[in-house]
Structure 1
Amino acid sequence: MVKKLPNSVSTSTTVRIPNHIYDIIEFEASSNDSTVSTVINNILRKHASWDRFVGDIGFMYVQKPLVRALFEKVSNKDLAQMSDTIGYARIRDAVLFIDGKVDVTGITYVIKLWLTTSNIPIRVIETDESIEFIVKHNLGNKWSIYFSTILKKLFGELKIASIEEDIEDHTVEITFSLKSKKKKK
């Protein structure tokens, strides 16, 4: 399980970096109006939270146009089966492996890691009553269906239902109710 520490906790250390790598990092920092320290911390954060687990949980880097083309070739019946079994199982395994338990926090954390690491913009809006995922992926309608099916199955395991869903060719918006059910006496 990965322990998520507050951002204010830090350690100062000295690291030897090859000159050509430092030059790349320094160029990226100046190009993004950032600091070398910020770029290095972002690299380390990404490694500690996602990259070190990628191979163990069965993920790999693939070009987005290839993913879109492959999804378009899949029948709706096969897509439903892949979402229900392969997609759900892989993400559930990732949540357990990275966060240690399947709950709203773990699911949200791993989904955000997965998509941000894949350069897919995601916005999560959480209130006391709901959690909304807004994803702009540009991978086609079938990927939208695939992704929303995985989320619905993960949250369904927690007995949390989707209350609103908008699936488009380039985006997914899905909201889940977090209202606790009152126990009957």
Structure 2
Amino acid sequence: MLAKIAEYIAKKETRDFVLMLRNEYNITSALDVIETWIRIAGYPYRHEVNFSKQAYTIQHEMGRKWSVYLKEQYESLFEDFGLKRVDFTVTDTTLSFMVDTEHLA
């Protein structure tokens, strides 16, 4: 059920949200909105960039369900941009993921 809610939000709401905030909908604007949200939420996080690979680690301390919810939401969002394989690590307090935007416009 949690996965279905996250997927619904990602598919129905996130596109409009990213467009409203960045006036464009692409992987760069989506990642920028995600990072802005992390900062505003006050979560400690790390963002590393290595050429086209971007890695995020978000320490939220809100439990495994929150990690799963965010993973499912981001996974659905990234699929919208053609990113079929994103590496996620889910724990009770942290979500980590790495995306490679090399072949995306």
**What is the TM-score normalised by the length of structure 1?**
0.51
1:143 lines up with 2:66 in the alignment: yes
Within 1, Cα distance between the matches of 2:56 and 2:85?
A: 11
Q: 1:163 and 1:111, CA in 2 relative to 1: closer, same or farther beyond 3 A?
A: closer
Percent identity over paired residues: 22
1:84 lines up with 2:45 in the alignment: no
Gaps of 5+ in 2: none
Within 2, Cα distance between the matches of 1:173 and 1:162?
A: 14
Q: Which amino acid aligns with 1:114?
A: W
Within 2, Cα distance between the matches of 1:150 and 1:85?
A: 8
Within 2, Cα distance between the matches of 1:81 and 1:143?
A: 14
Bigger strand share: 2
Aligned match of 1:128: 51
Are the equivalent residues in 2 in contact too, given 1:83–1:150 (CA < 8 A)?
yes
Deviation, 1:81, is 1.1
Q: Which amino acid aligns with 1:176?
A: V
Q: 1:91 and 1:156, CA in 2 relative to 1: closer, same or farther beyond 3 A?
A: same
SS at match of 1:162: coil
Q: How many aligned residue pairs are there?
A: 104
Deviation, 1:87, is 4.7
* Equivalent of residue 34 in structure 2, options 94, 108, 111: 111
Q: Which amino acid aligns with 2:85?
A: S
* 1:127-182 residue CA offsets vs partner (Å, 9 max, x unmatched): 2231212100011111111111111111111101334221000001111222328x
Gaps of 5+ in 1: 1-77
Q: 1:166 and 1:95, CA in 2 relative to 1: closer, same or farther beyond 3 A?
A: same
Within 2, Cα distance between the matches of 1:116 and 1:167?
A: 19
Q: 1:163 and 1:81, CA in 2 relative to 1: closer, same or farther beyond 3 A?
A: closer
SS at match of 1:101: coil
Deviation, 1:123, is 2.1
SS at match of 1:123: strand
